């Protein structure tokens, strides 16, 4: 393989608006129909159990080797299981010869690369992808890989919860970032209008901690590993993360394949997706090995830091099929509430339209 240069509580605690209640009824969010997490059953799996599905490499392996290009942010700790999968022979066992294409944090470029055939598949954050997919990128989602990696931090003695942030300034690295969207929707749930009650201020990621210290902002939003490091600073507390409330049992990162691949070469899309899910399951059992293999790809990190971060993420969680569609519909519903997705977008129809059930 070459490297090209370069959430454990109940699902759906949302109450209130009649429209949301109606949507819940329509989607039928029963706990048993949510995604696999720590071995829980899931509707829509193509085999008898989640364990069988993950271990059944032979069923999803290609009959002959196939070279594919996988776009990924090689510096994202939550994607470490993907970038070290070849060291365990997971891609090879699926008859995949994978070339990594590193697009860093440029989600739009990453999605365009799939839509235009420069990459066959990618892994990234659902909350960053969905708006672009609503706008028409020819990319299909095949599964959710894990939960975790987004954090909202504040100083001790400052705001103690989400409602207390009304009128505050929150630092972010990008106004379209997944963390900004996630904590905006969480603020909305807790009675704070993220558009009118919050001032969002953009900072380079390494200046979020100092901005908190100086009082320029009352909270900082971001992703690991940087936010994990800021959390370790004296006097810093974690107000929230994306393993809370409904989102404790949802995937934060998703697998996407090019629309062409999904339509014309479903077995390849299935092999890529299964290998990535299997890699995350392996990582949940072997975080020490993943940290060791991923360390050379990081900057200013340590094996201990990577291991601590990986253990906080839910790499034992994944979702496919009907369960995955319902997860995406939750995201779509909540993104409508904060005016990221269009008001006329039907969450379930949208989720179905961007999903390719490659394991059916």
Report domain extents, the chain.
2-148+248-353, 151-241
Sequence-ordered list of residues with C-beta below 8 angstroms from that of 7, at least 6 positions apart, any chain: 147, 148, 242, 243, 244, 246, 247, 248, 249, 250, 251, 252, 314, 317
The per-residue pLDDT for 104 is: 63
The structure's pTM equals 0.84
- pLDDT surpassing 90 at residue 74: no
What mean pLDDT do residues 344-355 have?
Answer: 97
Note the Cα 246 to chain centre separation in Å. Answer: 14
Which of the 8 DSSP states describes residue 8? -
Question: What is the distance between the alpha carbons of residues 149 and 17, in angstroms, rounded to a whole number?
Answer: 29
Q: Which two tokens stand for residue 146?
A: 């894990």
User: pLDDT for 264-294, tens place per residue?
Assistant: 999 999 999 999 999 999 999 999 999 988 8
Yes or no: say if 235 and 303 are a contact pair by the CB < 8 Å rule: no
Going by C-alpha positions, the residue among 85, 103, 154, 114 that lies closest to residue 294 is 85
Yes or no: say if 172 and 198 are a contact pair by the CB < 8 Å rule: no
Cα-based angle 264, 269, 272 (whole degrees, multiple of 5): 155
Q: Which two tokens stand for residue 311?
A: 């253990």
Yes or no: say if 141 and 121 are a contact pair by the CB < 8 Å rule: no
- CATH number for domain 151-241, candidates 3.40.50.2020, 3.90.1150.10, 3.20.20.70, 3.40.190.10: 3.40.190.10
Yes or no: say if 319 and 35 are a contact pair by the CB < 8 Å rule: yes
Domains 2-148+248-353 and 151-241 share a fold: yes
What mean pLDDT do residues 224-245 have?
Answer: 92
Find the distance separating the first CA and the last CA of the chain, reported in whole Å: 28
Please determine, looking at this structure, whether the domain spanning 2-148+248-353 carries the CATH number 3.40.50.150.
no
- Partners of 257 in beta bridges: 121, 140
User: pLDDT for 99-155, tens place per residue?
Assistant: 988 776 677 788 888 888 889 999 988 998 999 999 988 999 999 999 888 999 999
């Amino acid at each position: 393989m070459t490297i090209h240069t370069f959430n454990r509580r109940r699902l759906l605690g949302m109450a209130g608006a009649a429209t949301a209640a109606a949507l819940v009824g329509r989607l039928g969010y029963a706990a048993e129909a949510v995604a696999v997490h720590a071995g829980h059953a899931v509707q829509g799996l193509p085999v008898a159990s989640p364990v069988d599905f993950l271990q059944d490499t032979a069923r999803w392996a290609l009959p002959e080797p196939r070279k594919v290009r996988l776009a990924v942010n090689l510096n994202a700790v939550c994607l470490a299981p993907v970038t070290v999968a070849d060291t365990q022979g997971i891609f090879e066992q699926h008859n995949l010869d994978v070339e990594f294409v590193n697009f860093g944090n440029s989600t739009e470029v990453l999605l365009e690369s799939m839509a235009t055939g420069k990459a066959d598949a990618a892994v990234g954050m659902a909350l960053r992808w969905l708006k672009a997919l609503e706008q028409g990128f020819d990319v299909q989602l095949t599964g959710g890989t894990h939960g975790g990696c987004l954090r909202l931090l504040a100083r001790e003695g400052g705001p103690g919860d989400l409602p207390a942030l009304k009128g505050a300034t929150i630092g972010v690295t990008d106004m379209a970032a997944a963390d900004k969207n996630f904590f905006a929707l969480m603020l909305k749930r807790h009675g704070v209008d993220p558009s009118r009650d919050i001032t969002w201020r953009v900072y380079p990621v390494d200046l979020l901690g100092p901005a908190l210290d100086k009082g320029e902002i009352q909270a900082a939003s971001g992703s690991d590993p940087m936010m994990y490091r800021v959390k370790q600073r004296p006097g810093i507390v974690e107000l929230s993360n994306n393993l809370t409330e409904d989102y404790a049992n949802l995937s934060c990162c998703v697998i996407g394949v090019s629309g062409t691949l999904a339509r014309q070469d479903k077995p390849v899309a299935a092999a890529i997706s299964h290998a990535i899910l299997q890699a995350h399951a392996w990582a949940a059992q072997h975080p020490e090995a993943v940290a060791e293999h991923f360390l050379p790809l990081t900057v200013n990190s340590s094996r201990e830091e990577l291991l601590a971060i990986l253990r906080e993420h839910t790499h034992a969680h994944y979702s496919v099929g009907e369960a995955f569609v319902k997860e995406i519909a939750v995201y779509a519903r909540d993104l409508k509430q904060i005016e990221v997705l269009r008001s006329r977008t039907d969450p379930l129809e949208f989720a179905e339209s961007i999903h390719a059930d490659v394991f059916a």
